[in-house]
Structure 1
């Protein structure tokens, strides 16, 4: 049973004030991209995991700390299954790049195991389990373009018109999401006089929603924003050069995606996409092209 699920970018990301429990409410406008993880699930006595594909997963954990293993065991526990599964993940989404690759793996695992074991929960029944695994997992199940609020897992679909072209500039290193949030808190403290006070409750900007609903690339370029970007740039200053390079070579806009360090560039056409990829290649920066919105977790084949 092979299931694919998409990586994502955050077209807009607002972060509320730090709460007493250490978390932040967020408001995100997600878009799933045509950059897919594939998970193949085969019958087995125990739960096992291995990685293949163009993205090197050799350093990723294979135990309970991996979202795939947790997803399989969570579904088994929720449905009273005692079966195992052998999971093979074909990785295409950068690791620790702010694109939700691990969440896509978990979403694909839920769908694959639900089908393999015949537990029959379907997409609607899997959504509560996905939310237990992480804020980005429900979106990887659903795909498309959506608004995420709360911790990012309270989803409402945002219809997007047309197709958006993206170039993704990858980084050799990763950024820890908790570290980026901690740096955001420090950044806000350091610049408390210059920055507006962070609100506890945040919302997605209307301009960004209108842009995706109308398919207006130029309007979306104007509306794109990420509250985590300043923190990511503080931790990895070289990203500023990547953003400048992209915007000086035909991108309508560039943004650090989520907690980074992947930078996403909105371009007007497929030709512009190819030209920007070439510019990054000349600078020694690996870049990928993708389009959005893409569908959520989907069964590809059953053997």
Structure 2
């Protein structure tokens, strides 16, 4: 393995469309249609040579590193390609956990990208997608361009679309709110919420019509999450009442919500007000890239 360190930007994602369906595949996973877009809020992942595989987070996490998605990704890469994953992975966390922003997934993707680079593996190798899929449904997205459409269990790439404008986005999460994705799906099965038709937003994205695409944003699992965690609904209602807001919805299964804004000034004012309400909030924007290498050192 090349004796060098790589630093990667591992961005968060939002769902422009999330359609969960009652039917399941052979694995027992719900059929999920997911249109995802990356945003500028990102973890920084550094992969450096080491005597053995270690993963650490900043700030430190309180669970064993072997359960970290980045650790699992490194092990899976090593097993498949027959290499020793003798690296130290350091993850500077900015993406909150239990938010629906894909933090653990993007960190895992960053490790896959880093090891592929260090081992001379073509990033276009479809095996990388298979490895990513084995770690989590959202992981493959972070290996490709943004925005993109995923089918199957939300983990199979179906289409990539032209880059969206660098539109301002505000992310807001009640600090103590948390939603179990497993429980959200269980509640969905008890009382399914129909998904809107996918065709219109997919067509708008194909044509690069951002304005129409934003008007069609939808997440039927987010409805369940807001029922489970009333603070999510409080945030949604508050965001929708603000001026300059183009679209609002839940990020994945929550507990974070997002608002697409008309201007950066609107976004800045919004996070100030959200923080005054005691919520975690950041202003960011839509970006066209997903995981990328930002530095390489011998």
Q: Give unpaired runs (5+ residues) of structure 2.
A: 1-5
Q: Tell me the alpha carbon deviations over residues 203-239 of structure 1, each in whole angstroms, 9 at most, x when there is no partner.
A: 9622222444455554334311111022101210121
- Matched residue pairs, number? 287
2:143 to 121, 141, 160: 141
1:253–1:233 distance in 2 versus 1, CA, 3 Å = same
Q: Give unpaired runs (5+ residues) of structure 1.
A: 189-194, 197-201
1:171 aligns with 2:174: yes
Cα deviation, residue 49, structure 1: 0.8
Q: Distance in 2 between matches of 1:83 and 1:220?
A: 41
What's 1:191 paired with?
Answer: none
Q: Distance in 1 between matches of 2:106 and 2:258?
A: 18
What's 1:230 paired with?
Answer: 223
Q: Distance in 1 between matches of 2:85 and 2:199?
A: 47
What's 2:161 paired with?
Answer: 158
Q: Distance in 2 between matches of 1:291 and 1:50?
A: 28
What's 1:13 paired with?
Answer: 18
With 284-293 and 20-29 compared, the bigger mean Cα shift is at 20-29
What's 1:24 paired with?
Answer: 30
Q: Distance in 1 between matches of 2:36 and 2:204?
A: 13
Question: Runs of 4+ in structure 1 displaced over 3 angstroms?
Answer: 210-218
With 251-260 and 159-168 compared, the bigger mean Cα shift is at 159-168
What's 1:124 paired with?
Answer: 125
1:217–1:267 distance in 2 versus 1, CA, 3 Å = farther
1:284 aligns with 2:278: yes
What's 1:261 paired with?
Answer: 255
Cα deviation, residue 266, structure 1: 1.1
What's 2:238 paired with?
Answer: 245
1:40 aligns with 2:46: yes
Q: Distance in 2 between matches of 1:73 and 1:170?
A: 32
Instruction: Give the CA RMSD over aligned residues.
Output: 2.1
Q: Tell me the alpha carbon deviations over residues 153-186 of structure 1, each in whole angstroms, 9 at most, x when there is no partner.
A: 1112022442322100023232221111111112
TM-score by length of 2: 0.89
SS of the aligned residue for 1:287 comes to: strand
Cα deviation, residue 37, structure 1: 1.7
